[in-house]
Amino acid sequence: MPSTQPARGTRDFLPADIRRREYVIDVVRRVYERYGFEPLETPAFENIETLVGKAGDETNKLIFKILRRGEHEGTGPADLALRYDLTVPLARVMAEYQSALPKYFRRYQIQPVWRADRPARGRFREFYQCDIDAMGSTSPIVEVEVIAAVSEVLTTLGFQDFHVRLNDRRLLSALLAEAGVPPPLETDAFVALDKLDKIGPDGVSAELISRGIDPAAAAACLTLFSTGGDSSEALTARLEARLGHRREAIQTVATIRALAEMTPAAGRVRLDPSLARGLSYYTGAIMEIAVPDLAGSLGGGGRYDNLIGMFLGRDVPACGFSLGLERIIVVMTERGMFPPAVGSASADVMVALWSEASRADTLALAGELRRSGLRVDVYPDPDKPGKQFKYASGRGYPVVVLAGDDERNAGTVTVRNMRTSSQMTLPRADLAAHVSRELTRERVEP
Amino acid sequence: MPSTQPARGTRDFLPADIRRREYVIDVVRRVYERYGFEPLETPAFENIETLVGKAGDETNKLIFKILRRGEHEGTGPADLALRYDLTVPLARVMAEYQSALPKYFRRYQIQPVWRADRPARGRFREFYQCDIDAMGSTSPIVEVEVIAAVSEVLTTLGFQDFHVRLNDRRLLSALLAEAGVPPPLETDAFVALDKLDKIGPDGVSAELISRGIDPAAAAACLTLFSTGGDSSEALTARLEARLGHRREAIQTVATIRALAEMTPAAGRVRLDPSLARGLSYYTGAIMEIAVPDLAGSLGGGGRYDNLIGMFLGRDVPACGFSLGLERIIVVMTERGMFPPAVGSASADVMVALWSEASRADTLALAGELRRSGLRVDVYPDPDKPGKQFKYASGRGYPVVVLAGDDERNAGTVTVRNMRTSSQMTLPRADLAAHVSRELTRERVEP
């Protein structure tokens, strides 16, 4: 028999899991809509050349590739690949539908992506990204709106202790040059520095050196990039003293921080010269959300003014942010942040089955209850009532409805409260209203 | 430059597309919940051995296979595959989580599946299935509840002219035996007969013969399976006369039809001896939804009492139905069944940007409007007001809010109705309430 486990690094979601996921997704979607972002979706797979070479070598290695159609055996050449993010497909979409889309297109996209990464806590091979991107403007208003939207998502979910790490790729480049990293090795340095959280300064130093960066330059990088616990203001002053020639980037970062004070991100944005981000397509501001008890981030993003140009032939400025659904759920679960009702039983009522002869009547009762909006399960086999009640109780259904032969002859129906085991027989015409009242009481009382 | 089109047979969904899809999915989900089904999701890909050999040879050929991890070139062996339906992964889940799931588990699952099929109208390589399945009982109540739920979905969406074709694999087997098809070729005959809608009687006859079925038996099949426009009652009588020894299947089908009269499927279920369904895992009742103006079906399903056993080692009875989201949307779009508001502009208000110096104030205004629940876009660049108004008008935003230097000094703000071009200046404190009133009026008036 085949294994019954999901493929390595992927998960099945049972009903209670889905209800928690949908609770988070609903908040994300509602907030994103309030910021004027519109929904968009793209296919799970793309032509392989769409994906390869857009986000750097590190990402190329993680692409799941699909055998060419018509190959029915277990091996062959690949022509399609699963998307590893939602940004590269968006860039393709921007090029393809340019004329149908507004100049300042704001879109959100909540879909899974796939990476052949080594699975670890909170790191899966299939995971959902909740992305927003704003295209068409180089104004720092875009960065601020993006930071504000993800901050509002997190505060709405109940997060109080997150902050937004902010840096700029142009500053990073200047610092790397200053440290003695030659420009062709810049992307390698970003990838290595991005792992500071995961592998620590020694690990980063080793990786920088293994990627061909001079040991002295590697050491200089780490010194330059340490924040030393300084405030954003002190860091800005330090950067200005050191990198006066990159005033534009310093100014952008300062403007973003200042404007963010007018939004739900107020007080949360911190300049962090050590923030690198692993993807190669960023060109300006980069950011990440950090919470104290999670190595790694709840999400990240930045400005990428050249990526759409790789598909369109002319550049369209863009900036976006991606929240990681799995990471958010891991932290919310550990901290007990989900409201208790999320993930509880599905049906409001179960209609019991008295006998095979009463099947039609049972279905009619279920129909009446459903027409009043209730969620109704029907017990399908004519087991003894005691067994049926036990089943309903095990499932957590608050109310069971039953019509035996006597009730059916009298035009009545019996309603059982599963918590108190009290029963009441009433005219059928009153059924739906009575059950609704019973449920309201149960939701207040227990 | 890479092509900017999505991969063959797949589609991008722009905002108006997504809003139509979400409208349908919301109805599907709400109705499924009222029938006591609970949400479940599984990964996009499975280990290859989970999928191969579960639904027949025809389906095996359509599986998209994924290169083994670590193969970084464009070719190699495959160990994973994209799911082609939601039923086989469910069977795996039932085996894996048996002890955590209730005896009568009802689940719904709305997710994409992938098939390397030849793309055609309404037929894509990536498409969404909206599945319900009820496990644990052999009672015909299960078939009836499933048929009732999908019928209620369709009537809620506004479909009035669909019917449910009903047959039973046991009847089909008996008819095939009667026609002279040897049992080992039964599945081949199902696959060929399933194409009657698509390729007509001559096509089916040719395919039956090409699959090794005797020409006389092929002709007998087509005669036996034609309904000749007879009523379900007449067909039942004919089947009983011919297949008295398959009374059980005939009785099941009759019971399902009778009980369905107590549900939203009343008057819609028709016995159709020519219904075959292509998948090999069905064991009892099979059904399909037909509408007059669509070759092919809006969805189909049936009973499969042995599939879970292929993973668990002991059989668990099950019956399910899958609605095809794409087909439903194709028909609804052609018939103009979507409410006009579905698919319209996203934001309620745009906040214009007066000057670079007013960026902070613009963001504050947007924040105030969002706090009252409105969906707000912010114009990011300090263009002339006329240009900004033109943009808002092109996007269909009903209201624009603007605060120039005078207004900011006076603590006021100007609200422009984009339909009438009338403007009003009011105290900032009144802004959100005024805009909400304006929007309510706009939604009633135009």
Please indicate, yes or no, if residue B340 is contained in any of the structural domains: no
The verdict on A321 and A370 lying in the same domain is no
In a domain, B10, yes or no: no
CA B105 to chain centre: 21
- Helix A247-260 to helix A169-179 angle (10° resolution) is 140
Comparing A231 with B6, the larger pLDDT belongs to B6
Q: What is the pLDDT of residue A190?
A: 86
For the stretch A127-186, pLDDT in tens is: 999 999 999 999 999 999 999 999 999 999 999 999 999 999 998 888 888 889 998 898
Residue B42 lies in a domain: yes
- In a shared domain, residues A261 and A359: no
Give me the pLDDT at residue B70, please.
Answer: 65
Q: What are phi and psi of B299, to 5 degrees?
A: 165, 170
Residue A411: count other Cβ atoms within 10 Å of its Cβ.
Answer: 10
Q: Rounded distance, CA B172 to CA B279, Å?
A: 14
Q: Which of B5, B15, B126 sits opposite A38 (nearest CB)?
A: B15
Domain containing residue A427: CATH number? 3.40.50.800
For residue A368, the chain B residues in CB contact (below 8 A) are none
Which of A11, A23, A26, A41 to mutate to test binding with chain B, by most B CBs within 10 Å of its CB?
Answer: A41
Q: Name the percent of chain A lying above pLDDT 70.
A: 98
For the segment A252-268, what is each residue's pLDDT rounded down to a tens digit?
A: 999 999 999 999 999 99
The nearest CA of chain A is from the CA of B367 a distance in Å of 6
Contact indicator for A141, A95 with CB cutoff of 8 Å: no
CB-defined contacts A:B, below 8 A: 312
- Do B231 and B299 lie in one domain? The reply is yes
A295, pLDDT greater than 80: no
How far is it, in rounded angstroms, from Cα A399 to Cα A380? 17
3 state SS of B113: strand
Does A108 touch chain B if contact means CB atoms closer than 8 Å? no
Q: Which residues in chain A have Cβ-Cβ distances shorter than 8 Å to B84?
A: none
Question: Using alpha carbons only, what angle is made at residue A164 by residues A152 and A37, rounded to the nearest 5 degrees?
Answer: 40
**Residue A16 Cα, gap to closest chain B Cα (Å):** 8
The Cα angle at residue B238 between residues B234 and B243, in degrees rounded to 5: 145
A56 dihedral zone (left: phi>0; alpha: psi -120 to 50; beta): left
In terms of DSSP bridges, do strands B318-324 and B299-303 run parallel, antiparallel, or are they unpaired? antiparallel
The reply to whether residue B37 touches residue A346, judged by beta carbons under 8 angstroms, is yes
Determine the Cα angle at A182 with ends A176 and A186, to 5°: 60
For B234, phi then psi, to 5°, come to: -65, -40
State the Rg of chain B over Cα: 28
Confidence of residue A231 (pLDDT cuts 50, 70, 90): confident
- SS3 assignment, position B104: coil
Query: Any CB–CB contact under 8 A between A207 and chain B?
Result: no
B203 touches chain A (CB under 8 A): no
- Secondary element (H or E) of residue B165: strand B163-168
Could you tell me the maximum CA-CA distance found in chain B, to the nearest angstrom?
Answer: 93
Closest to B265 (Cα-Cα) out of A364, A352, A355, A348: A364
Structure tokens at A381: 């086999």
**Which mean pLDDT values do the consecutive 10-residue runs of chain B (446 residues) have?**
92 96 97 97 96 83 87 79 96 96 96 92 91 98 98 98 95 88 89 85 92 92 78 82 79 95 96 86 95 88 96 96 96 93 84 95 96 96 96 94 94 95 95 93 72
A37 and A174 together in one domain: yes
d(CA B283, CA B285): 7
The candidate with the shortest Cα–Cα distance to A116, out of A244, A9, A230, A2, is A9
Q: B292: domain CATH number?
A: 3.30.930.10
d(CA B161, CA A17): 37
Mutant choice from B32, B52, B54, B64 vs A, greatest count of A C-beta within 10 A:
B64
Compute CA distances A123 → A9, A322, A341, whole Å: 8, 15, 27
Q: Which of residues 57-86 of A touch B (CB under 8 A)?
A: 60-61, 64-67, 69-72, 74-80, 82
Reported as a single tens digit per residue, the pLDDT across A319-331 is 999 999 999 999 9
Give the distance from residue B178's alpha carbon to the nearest chain A alpha carbon, in angstroms: 33
Q: How far is B110 from chain A (nearest CA, A)?
A: 12
Asked whether residue B1 is domain-assigned, the answer is no
Q: Are residues A286 and A364 in the same domain?
A: no
Instruction: Tell which of B4, B8, B351, B388 to mutate to test the A interface (max A CBs under 10 Å).
Output: B4
CA–CA gap between residue B263 and residue B154 (Å, rounded): 13
Is A36 close to B77, i.e. CB distance below 8 A?
A: no
- Distance (Å) from the alpha carbon of B13 to chain A's nearest alpha carbon: 5
ipTM of the complex: 0.93
Q: Is residue B197 part of a domain?
A: yes
Question: A112 and A70 in one domain?
Answer: yes
- Separation between Cα atoms, residue B228 and residue B131, nearest integer Å: 32
How far lies B178's CA from each of A157, B218, B303, B411, in Å? 64, 11, 23, 88
Beta-carbon separation of A40 and B18 below 8 A: yes
Do A260 and A353 belong to one domain? no
- For chain A, say whether B444 makes contact (Cβ under 8 Å): no
DSSP at B120: B
Tokens of B15: 């905002």
**What pLDDT, on the 0 to 100 scale, is given for residue A196?**
84
Q: Would A342 be classed as within a structural domain?
A: no
Number of domains in chain B: 2
B208 and B264 share one domain: yes
Check CB contact of B145 with chain A, cutoff 8 Å.
yes
Give the whole-angstrom CA distance, residue A364 versus residue A356: 14
Which B positions 217-256 lie with beta carbon below 8 A of chain A? none
CA-based nearest residue in chain B for residue A357: B259
Q: Do A1 and B373 touch (CB under 8 A)?
A: no
Identify which of B161, B158, B128 has the alpha carbon closest to the alpha carbon of residue B332: B158
Comparing CB atoms, the residue among B362, B370, B377 nearest residue A106 is B377
Of B19, B100, B347, the CB nearest to A36: B347
Nearest neighbour of A311 by CB, restricted to B1, B14, B380: B1
Contact with chain B for residue A148, Cβ under 8 A: yes
Share of chain A above pLDDT 90, in %: 73
pLDDT of residue B72: 65
Does any domain span residue B6?
Answer: no
- Which of B305, B334, B363 corresponds to the end of one domain? B334
Q: Within the 350-389 window of chain B, which residues sit less than 8 Å (CB to CB) from chain A?
A: 350, 353, 359-364, 366-367, 370, 373-381
Asked whether residue B159 is domain-assigned, the answer is yes
B223-239 tens-digit pLDDT: 877 767 778 888 888 87
Q: What is the gyration radius of the CA atoms in chain A, in angstroms?
A: 28
A-chain CB neighbours of B141 within 8 Å are: 353, 359, 362-363, 378, 380
A18/B116 Cβ within 8 A: no
Alpha-carbon gap: A49 to the closest alpha carbon of chain B (Å): 6
Compute the distance between CA of residue B167 and CA of residue B145 in angstroms, rounded to an integer. Answer: 16
**Does A93 lie at the interface with B, CB-CB under 8 angstroms?**
yes
**pLDDT tens, residue by residue, A389-409:** 999 999 999 999 999 999 999
What is the enclosing helix (H) or strand (E) of B221?
A: helix B215-225
Q: Look at A370 and B95 and tell me if their CB atoms are within 8 Å.
A: no
Query: How does the average pLDDT of chain A come out, rounded?
Result: 92
Residues A323, A399: one domain? no
Cα–Cα separations (whole angstroms), residue A119 to A52, A81, B239: 22, 20, 57
* B158: containing domain: 15-334
Looking at A334, A361, A378, which one is the last position of a domain? Answer: A334
User: Buried b / exposed e across B426-443, counting CB within 10 Å, b at 16+?
Assistant: eebeebbebbbebbeebe
Beta-sheet strands, E only, within B330-422: 349-351, 376-378, 399-402, 412-417
Number of neighbouring beta carbons within 10 Å of residue B203:
13
Q: In 3-state terms, what secondary structure has residue A393?
A: helix
Q: Of A277, A309, A334, which residue constitutes the final position of a domain?
A: A334
B103 vs A contacts (CB less than 8 Å): 391
Q: Quick check: B131 and B109 in contact, CB under 8 A?
A: yes
Give mean pLDDT, residues A31-51: 96
**Confidence band for A237, pLDDT divided at 50, 70 and 90:** confident
Residues B23 and B172 in one domain: yes
- Are A289 and A300 in contact by the 8 Å Cβ rule? The answer is yes
CB contact under 8 A, A3 and B367: no
The number of angstroms, rounded, from the C-alpha of B420 to the middle of its chain's C-alpha atoms is 41
Residue A279 sits in the same domain as residue A365: no
pLDDT at A72 over 70: no
Query: For position A445, what pLDDT does the model report?
Result: 62
pLDDT of residue B164: 97
B219 and B209 in contact (C-beta within 8 Å)?
no
What is the pLDDT at residue B361?
95
Secondary structure (H, E, C), A215-282: HHHHHHHHHHHCCCCCCHHHHHHHHHHHCHHHHHHHHHHHHHHHHHCCCCCCCCEEECCCCCCCCCCC
- Specify the DSSP element, H or E, that contains B290: strand B285-290
Residues in chain B: 446
A380 pLDDT band (50/70/90 cuts)? very high
Cβ contact B378–A80 (<8 Å): no
Is there a contact between A316 and A308 (Cβ–Cβ < 8 Å)? yes
CB nearest A347 (choices: B36, B259, B346): B36
Q: Check B74 against A48: CB less than 8 A apart.
A: yes
Please tell me whether residues A238 and A378 are part of one structural domain: no
